[in-house]
Structure 1
Amino acid sequence: MALPDLPFTLDPPVLLAPMAGITDLPYRNLVASFGAGLVVSEMVASEDMINARPGTREKAELGLGIEGTAVQLAGREAAPLAEAARMVEAQGARIIDINMGCPAKKVTQGYSGSALMRTPDYALTLIEAVVNAVKVPVTLKTRLGWDDAMLNAPQIAAAAEAAGITMITIHGRTRCQFYKGAADWAAISKVKDAVSIPVIANGDIIDTDSASTALNQSRADGVMVGRGSQGQPWILAEIAHQLYGTPAPVVPQGADFARMVGDHYEEIIRFYGVTIGLRAARKHLGWYMDTCATPRDLRRSVLTAPDVQTVQHLIPSAMHPGQELVAA
């Protein structure tokens, strides 16, 4: 099911959310390999991109020839945000997403992320700067509002559409809720009523049932999955299969699951290098071991292993409990 009136293909309309420290290129590639309409990079601070701060390249890295990927930018000033947009466009970005939803204090204290919802007129100048700076489509991700007294997502969405935004994703919480309580999917319907561009529902969507309920309550055009994909990168493809009739993913089991994890681990090490890669991989390994109920002692050994070779040796048994370790 491709969405109409979009300058890019979104088929199926099941998207991977940007997640700091998680949706790097190796993970996006893995999720996309099962089937996803769009995968979004972790948030990149515009000034860090311009100043080439260490680690920023990895966040925005797309990989040549990869479609269905968006780079998410955050910022508080129009000129740096526009310049960063031009930079990632030149590097091959097909879609640029503006972050107006991050609730983290270190972001909102810098008047970026969801803090921009408190100053919608100013936020609009940033949106206009990015749209006018690039030729690729620009999308927006935000929340319901700053708090319960400022639920201004519909007004912001309407202004953003008028400025040239092609799609908007709404996390069904306010900034002051952070990730507490339940996402209010029904409230997203007010944004849907305010715009004619596609609206994507986000927040607490972890499986087919929650995705279906979110779509029904929000009347959104698609869903975005974040934390629900951790340890099960095929979940977006499963949701798409159940809701939109796309091909069912082949969910790896047993030794196949261990091979998938091993391949992902090697891609992380190759992408970051050994020193950073060892640390970056641990969160993913932990989620994979949650998925397959790895025994506690073996889990600890994997997460505390001091070198790549030891981790690689442990993965087959840790991700396929009951299988005997092969002597190194």
Structure 2
Amino acid sequence: MVKIGSIELPDFPLLLAPMEDVSDPPFRAVCKLNGADMMYTEFISSEGLIRDAIKSRQKLDIYEAERPIGIQIFGGDEEAMAMSARIVDTVQPDLLDINFGCPVKKVVTKGAGAAVLKDIDLMVRLTAACVRSTNLPVTVKTRLGWDADSINIGEVAERLQDTGIKALAIHGRTRSQLYKGEADWTHIARVKENPRIQIPIFGNGDIDSPEKALDYKKRFGVDGIMIGRAAIGYPWIFNEIKHFFATGEHLPPPTIEQRVDVIRRHLHKSVEWKGLVPGINEMRRHYNNYLKGLPNIKEYRLKLVTFKTVEEIDGVLDEIIQVYTGFQFEHRQVEMNNLSYNCG
């Protein structure tokens, strides 16, 4: 068992990473259904929460079926982060997570996300302000450092633990790498091996298959794995990894019926949560990922992204089942560098 404060997770839990414009309640629902042990919201701007911005407030929506779930915030001002922590407290998630890893320019230029990696003292103050301001367990997600010449995750881990955080998730890249190159988990392993570190350490970066998950578990000794981009369009990855750990064998790839069932669930929950028009529109980014590997799918995908009613889209999904029933999928290989949603 892995514990984050009073939260009890199974041995070697699989966590769904917080991803901007992806990790909303509809997406989280299908990942939970397919084996994610703990999940996080999209990251939320502390300044947006304080301004009562509608988009920021909507990201606070969580549901009982999702638990345990963490709400993730980011920012570069101590007072704003403290106030945001108190706001998050009122929603009663299971934990509060702080993003010190997002590498995208619009976040970094505001002195938040991965920008804080350049100032460990500030990182410590921001974290301590949150710990003081909430009764929730506080966790952090971060990267190795700003660039290859300033990898400071060893010092960061010790000092953040000293502030009172209950777990640390580490993406095995620097900020300057963005999502390019290979994630280097050797630095994550050193943090885990540090006798001073007593909190759970979760590894993140490049896990896209059951084989790699098992290999990294054995090689780097982390307490669990956080999966982001590989779950986009393929939430089955969580159960596939668990089955492989338990048996050494692969689950068969999801059938066309299983794929369409998840698309339908995702669509209906999206409409239920966001409303008809935004729910349908925002679902359009997901169809290509869910249907990847199907030959001659362009005609149906075009209908899915242009039709404007749930009934029409459901009709297209029914057609896809009729046409592709019996199609044998191969195990999916994720083109990681072409996906840039994971904000950490």
Taking structure 2 as the reference length, what is the TM-score of the superposition? Answer: 0.87
- 1:292 CA drift (Å): 4.4
Q: Is the 8 A contact 1:99 1:113 kept in 2?
A: yes
Let me know the Cα RMSD of the aligned residues: 2.1
Q: Is the 8 A contact 1:234 1:249 kept in 2?
A: no
- 1:215 CA drift (Å): 2.1
Distance in 2 between the 1:124 and 1:186 partners? 24
1:7 aligns with 2:9: no
Q: Is the 8 A contact 2:256 2:324 kept in 1?
A: no
Q: The residue matched to 2:324 in structure 1 has which SS?
A: coil
Q: Is the 8 A contact 2:28 2:66 kept in 1?
A: no
Q: For residues 70-115 of structure 1, what are the alpha-carbon distances to aligned partners after superposition, in whole Å with 9 as ceiling and x for unaligned?
A: 1111011111111111112211211111000000000000010011
1:39-188 correspondence runs (5 A):
39-64=39-64, 66-188=66-188
Work out which of the residue numbers 217, 238, 257 in structure 1 matches 2:240. 238
Aligned length: 321
Distance in 2 between the 1:250 and 1:35 partners? 15
1:204 alignment counterpart = 206
2:267 alignment counterpart = 265
Distance in 2 between the 1:260 and 1:311 partners? 14
Q: Is the 8 A contact 2:32 2:66 kept in 1?
A: no
Q: Is the 8 A contact 2:139 2:167 kept in 1?
A: yes
Give percent identity, aligned residues only. Answer: 31
Q: The residue matched to 1:196 in structure 2 has which SS?
A: coil
- 1:25 CA drift (Å): 0.8
1:315 alignment counterpart = 317
Q: Is the 8 A contact 2:185 2:203 kept in 1?
A: yes
Q: Is the 8 A contact 1:231 1:284 kept in 2?
A: yes
Q: Is the 8 A contact 1:292 1:320 kept in 2?
A: no
Change (3 A) 1:16 1:258: same
Q: Is the 8 A contact 1:255 1:316 kept in 2?
A: no
Deviates more, 1:224-233 or 1:27-36: 27-36
- 1:67 CA drift (Å): 1.5
Q: Is the 8 A contact 1:206 1:228 kept in 2?
A: yes
Higher relative contact order, chain-length normalized (CA < 8 Å, sep 6+): 2
Q: Is the 8 A contact 2:4 2:137 kept in 1?
A: no
1:220 alignment counterpart = 222
Change (3 A) 1:180 1:124: same
Change (3 A) 1:20 1:307: same
Q: The residue matched to 1:290 in structure 2 has which SS?
A: coil
Change (3 A) 1:216 1:149: same
Letter in 1 for 2:169: T
Letter in 1 for 2:2: L
Structure 1 gaps of 5+ residues are: 324-328
- 1:286 CA drift (Å): 1.9
Q: Is the 8 A contact 1:79 1:129 kept in 2?
A: yes
Distance in 2 between the 1:307 and 1:4 partners? 44
Taking structure 1 as the reference length, what is the TM-score of the superposition? Answer: 0.91
1:32 alignment counterpart = 32
- 1:50 CA drift (Å): 1.9
